[in-house]
Structure 1
Amino acid sequence: MMRKTSVILLSAATGAALTLFVTQPRAVFMGSSARAATADTYRQLNLFGDVFERVRSDYVEKPDDTKLIESAISGMLTGLDPHSSYMDAKSFRDMQVQTRGEFGGLGIEVTMEDGLIKVVSPIDDTPASRAGIMANDIITNLDDEAVQGLTLNQAVEKMRGPVNTKIKLKIIRKGQDNPIDVTLVRDNIRVRSVRARVEQDDIAYIRITTFNEQTTEGLKREIGNLSNQIGDKLKGYIIDLRNNPGGLLEEAVTVSDSFLEKGEIVSTRGRNAEETQRRTAHAGDLTKGKPVIVLINGGSASASEIVAGALQDHKRATIVGTRSFGKGSVQTIIPLGSGNGALRLTTARYYTPSGKSIQAKGIVPDIEVLQDVPDELKSRTDTKGEASLRGHLKNDGDEKTGSQSYVPPDAKDDKALKLAGDLLHGIKNSASAAPTPGGDNKAATDKPKAAN
C-alpha cells in the first residue's frame, strides 16, 4: 500500500523537523465542476511547460534544467505564505542535522525580509553571538556577494561550511550610518537549548533558547538539578522564552506537559475538519505545583507561543513581558524521495486550550513589562511580528504588529526578570492583575472554535 511520510515543525525562522506520522491517500470522486477545474489546472500546467521549453531553447545562456525546476517550485511555495518553502537535498539534510541540535555554521537564526536576510536572534555561545550580531540586523552581503536574489535556503547554505573557515558579513543596523563588516569563523554549533541558574538563592531560572530534540530532556535535567540544589526553600520557577524563535511541535507539547497534570495543550486544525488533532497533558507536574512565571517578548514565536499559551490558559503560570511574535501556523516537512529534497508546507493553524488562534496577534502577557532601552538602541528594539510579513495567513479581528524584543545583557537591569522574582517572593505589584502563579490548573472556560 502506498503511504506518505511527513514531518511537522514549528519555527519562525529556519526550521527544524518534528513528529513523524503517516497518512494514506484518499479515494476522490469528482463531479462535473471538479473535472472542469482539473482540466483548467492541466491547461495551466501546459502553459508552464511551454514557458519552460522556451526558456531552455531561447535564453541567452544555456540554463541548468535542475535549477530552473527548483526555482519554479520555490516560487510556487514562497508565494503561499512566509513559512512555506522548498529545500533541496542538502538543505533537507542540514535541517535534519539542526533538528538534532548540532550543525556546522555561525549560530544565527535568520529569516527573509524584502529580499534580504534579517537576523531573528543569534544563538548563545556561538560565533555570531560572540561577534555581537544582534536581532533585527540586516545581512546584505556574504563574502562580498549580495544576498539580493538568493532564497533563504541558499543564503543559509552559504553561511554554513567547514569548521574553522571564515566568512565576511556586511550588516545594516538601525542607528548606524554605515554598513558594518564582520568576519566570523565557522564553528561546530552545538545548540544547548536549555540553560539554568539559581536566582536570589531560592528561585530556579531556566532559559529555553530553541525547541530541538534535546529540549525536553534538558528541561527535565535542569529542573532536577535546581530542585536538588535549592532544596526546600525553592520559591518557584522562571521559564525564559524571550527571543526563542520556536522549533519542534512535539517538544513544545512535552515541555508544556512538564508543568501540567491534565487538560488540552494545543490543537492543530487543517483545511478539513477530520484533520483536527488535539494534544493533552499526562499526570505528573515535574515542578510539583510550584509557582511558575513565563517570560516572553516580541521575539518569542511559534513553539514558544504554544507553551506560553497552554500555561496561560490553564492558569498554571503568569506570563510576563511583551506581546509575542504571533506565528500560529504549523509546517509539515514532506520528503520528495531520495535526492529530491523536501517541501516545507504550511498545513495547519494551531489553537491554545481555550480555542484562541494567536496567528498575527500573539500571546498577550498577563503583566506587560517594557524594558529601559539604551538611547543608541531605541530605534530597533521592536519586532514587527507575523502580521508584518508579506503574505502571512490572516486572522479574524485586529492583527497586531510591533512588540519590544530587547533583553538587557545584565540581569540586574532586566525589569521583567526582577518583577518575576518579586511575584515569586509574594511582593505585591500594583500593575498585576494576573492569575496567581501555580494556580488551580484549570483551563479557561471558552469553548474551542470550529475548525477552519
Structure 2
Amino acid sequence: MKLRVGTTAAVAAAFAAGIIIGPQVAAWAQADGGRAETYRLLQLFGDVFARVRAEYVEPVQDRDLVENAVNGMLTGLDPHSAYLNPRNFRDMQVQTRGEFGGLGIEVTQENGYIRVISPIDETPAARAGVKPGDFITHLNGTSTQGLTLQEAVEQMRGERGTAIRLTIRREGEARPVEVSITRDVIRPQVVRYRLEGNDVAYIRVTSFNEQTDTNLRRAMTALRQQAGGNLKGVVLDLRNNPGGLLDQAVQVADDFLDQGEIVSTRARRPEDAQRWNARSGDIANGLPIVVLVNGGSASASEIVAGALQDHRRAVVLGTRSFGKGSVQTVMPLGGNNGAIRLTTARYYTPSGRSIQSTGIEPDIEVRAARQDPQTASANPRDREADLRRALRAEGSETQNGATPLPPLNLPAAITERVQRQPPEGFPALDPTKPETDFQLQQATSLVRAMAAQPQRRAQR
C-alpha cells in the first residue's frame, strides 16, 4: 500500500513541475503487467494538466489542479474514498481523538447535495433540530451543488462563536427549512447511560472514537453500582451511530463476548485478510442484551451488532441498518500533502455475512413511528445501496451455501409480545423524552422478559 501511494505522489509531483513523463514512470507502467496503455493514459493526464495550466481563462495553482485530479480519481471509485488535503487530514485526526470544531453532524454526499447521516447529541446541529436524512442544499445562501464533500465540510467548520446558515430540504416538508447555527468546539459525549426503571442498563453509543471503549466500561461499572445488584440486563443503543474506528468496534464487541470471532476483513489480496477474536471477559456478566439499530446505524455500529447477533449474545431490535460494510484505510502522503482515505477491504460478520449494501436485519423489527406498509415501501430511507458507486456485497459466505444463523432462542410467548409499531395516538419521538421512544420501550420490556427465563445465563 505505501509503495503505491509513494509512486502516485511522485507522478503527481512530476506533473506539477511541468515535467514530461520520464523513464521512471515508463518503467513503472511496464512493470504493471507490461501494459503500454497505462503509460499512454499517464501521458494523457500530463497533456490535459499542461493545457489547463496554460490556457484556462484564469490562472490556476498547480496544487489545486493536482489535488482536484487526485480527489476525482478517488471519489470516482466509491462513496467513501477521498483525498484529504493537509487541513482536512488534521481535522480528521482531531475528530477521531474525540474533539473538533464545527456544527456536530455526520454527513455524506448524495445526488450532488450534502445529506445528513446523523447529528451528534448535544451539539449545535442537534439543538437546532437537524435530522438524519436532511439534505443541506445551501450554506449561507450558496448552493452546495458542485461542492465536494470535503469542501462542504470545510465550510461548515470554523471558529467557535461564528454562525452559518443552512438551507435544508426535508422529507415531508413542502418548503426548504432555514436554520442558523453557531459553531462551537465539539466534544461529543460518545457514551451516555442511565437506568431504565431501577433494573435495566441503558447505554447509548453515538460514535466510535478513541474514547468509546473506555467510556463504555465506565458506564457499565456506574450502572451496576446504581442498580445495587438488581440489574436485569442491558440495552445497547446504536441507532443513528455512523461508525468510526474499527479497533474501537472490535473492543466494544469484545466487552460482551467471552470467545469467538468478532469480525474479519478481506482485501484485494488474500494474504491481507485479517481476523479479530474475542478475549475472555464479559462486562455484562452474562446478562441479557438487546441492541437497538436503525437506518442511521452504519459501519462500526454494524460490526458490533453483527458480532453480538451472530454469537446470539444479543437480540437485535429496530429496523435494518445502513449497510456500510467496507473498510477505509487512511494513508498519509509525504511532504505535507495530506492523506488519502481509500477503501481497502470489506468486512464480514463471524458467520461470514457481508453487510455491504444489505445491512443488519434485526431479529425483531420494531418501527419508531407508526407507518403504513405501502408508504414505507414507496419511500424507503436512503442506505448504502442507494449511494452512487456503492460496492456490492461480494464474497458473502451466506450467499454461497454456508450454514445460516441459528434460530433466535426465545420463546414465542416473549417475541410475540413485542409490538412492531406504536399504537394509534402514540406521541411523536422526542429525543429528550424517553417516554416517547417506542423502540426503547419494547427493548426494555424484552430485556426484562429475557431475564425472567429460567434457562438464561447465570451471572458470575
For the aligned pair, the TM-score class normalised by the smaller chain equals: 0.7 to 0.9
- 2:410 corresponds to 1:412: no
User: Are 2:450 and 2:456, in contact at CA under 8 Å, matched by a contact in 1?
Assistant: no
User: Are 1:167 and 1:185, in contact at CA under 8 Å, matched by a contact in 2?
Assistant: yes
How many angstroms apart in 2 are the aligned matches of 1:204 and 1:243? 19
How many angstroms apart in 2 are the aligned matches of 1:265 and 1:428? 25
- 2:445 corresponds to 1:422: yes
Per-residue CA deviations over 1:118-164 (Å, capped at 9, x if unaligned) read 11111111110111111111111111222111110111011011100
Q: Which residue is 2:388 aligned to?
A: 390
Rg larger for: 2
SS in 1 for 2:70: helix
For residue 365 of structure 1, the aligned residue among 358, 362, 367 is: 362
Q: Which residue is 2:155 aligned to?
A: 158
- 2:94 corresponds to 1:71: no
After superposition, the Cα gap between the structure-2 partners of 1:56 and 1:220, relative to the gap in structure 1 and judged at 3 Å, is same
Letter aligned with residue 384 of structure 2: E
How many angstroms apart in 2 are the aligned matches of 1:106 and 1:86? 22
User: Are 2:80 and 2:343, in contact at CA under 8 Å, matched by a contact in 1?
Assistant: yes
Q: Which residue is 1:224 aligned to?
A: 221
SS in 1 for 2:34: helix
Query: Which blocks of at least 5 consecutive residues in structure 1 are unaligned?
Result: 7-28, 430-435, 441-452
Letter aligned with residue 317 of structure 2: V
When normalised by structure 2's length, the TM-score is 0.82
What does 1:238-387 correspond to in 2, within 5 Å? 238-373=235-370, 382-387=380-385
User: Are 1:316 and 1:438, in contact at CA under 8 Å, matched by a contact in 2?
Assistant: no
Q: Give the C-alpha shift of residue 30 in structure 1.
A: 10
How many angstroms apart in 2 are the aligned matches of 1:87 and 1:197? 38
How many angstroms apart in 2 are the aligned matches of 1:53 and 1:5? 24
Query: Which blocks of at least 5 consecutive residues in structure 2 are unaligned?
Result: 6-26, 400-420, 422-427
SS in 2 for 1:359: coil
Higher relative contact order (CA 8 A, sep 6+): 1
After superposition, the Cα gap between the structure-2 partners of 1:303 and 1:259, relative to the gap in structure 1 and judged at 3 Å, is same
How many pairs does the alignment contain? Answer: 403
Segment drifting more, 212-221 vs 332-341: 332-341
Q: Which residue is 1:149 aligned to?
A: 146
Please give the root-mean-square deviation of Cα atoms over the aligned residues, in Å. 2.9
How many angstroms apart in 2 are the aligned matches of 1:428 and 1:261? 19
How many angstroms apart in 2 are the aligned matches of 1:370 and 1:69? 47
How many angstroms apart in 1 are the aligned matches of 2:140 and 2:250? 40
User: Are 2:316 and 2:362, in contact at CA under 8 Å, matched by a contact in 1?
Assistant: yes
How many angstroms apart in 1 are the aligned matches of 2:213 and 2:339? 26
- 2:116 corresponds to 1:119: yes
Per-residue CA deviations over 1:283-340 (Å, capped at 9, x if unaligned) read 1111111111100111110000000000011111111111111111000000002420
Letter aligned with residue 237 of structure 2: D
Q: Which residue is 2:41 aligned to?
A: 44
SS in 2 for 1:109: strand
SS in 2 for 1:372: coil
SS in 1 for 2:446: helix
Identity, % of aligned positions = 55
SS in 2 for 1:233: coil
User: Are 2:232 and 2:288, in contact at CA under 8 Å, matched by a contact in 1?
Assistant: yes
Letter aligned with residue 436 of structure 2: D
User: Are 1:317 and 1:439, in contact at CA under 8 Å, matched by a contact in 2?
Assistant: no
User: Are 1:323 and 1:364, in contact at CA under 8 Å, matched by a contact in 2?
Assistant: yes
After superposition, the Cα gap between the structure-2 partners of 1:328 and 1:438, relative to the gap in structure 1 and judged at 3 Å, is farther
Per-residue CA deviations over 1:187-215 (Å, capped at 9, x if unaligned) read 01001100000002100000000000000
Q: Which residue is 1:81 aligned to?
A: 78
Q: Give the C-alpha shift of residue 439 in structure 1.
A: 9.8
After superposition, the Cα gap between the structure-2 partners of 1:326 and 1:333, relative to the gap in structure 1 and judged at 3 Å, is same
How many angstroms apart in 2 are the aligned matches of 1:68 and 1:108? 29
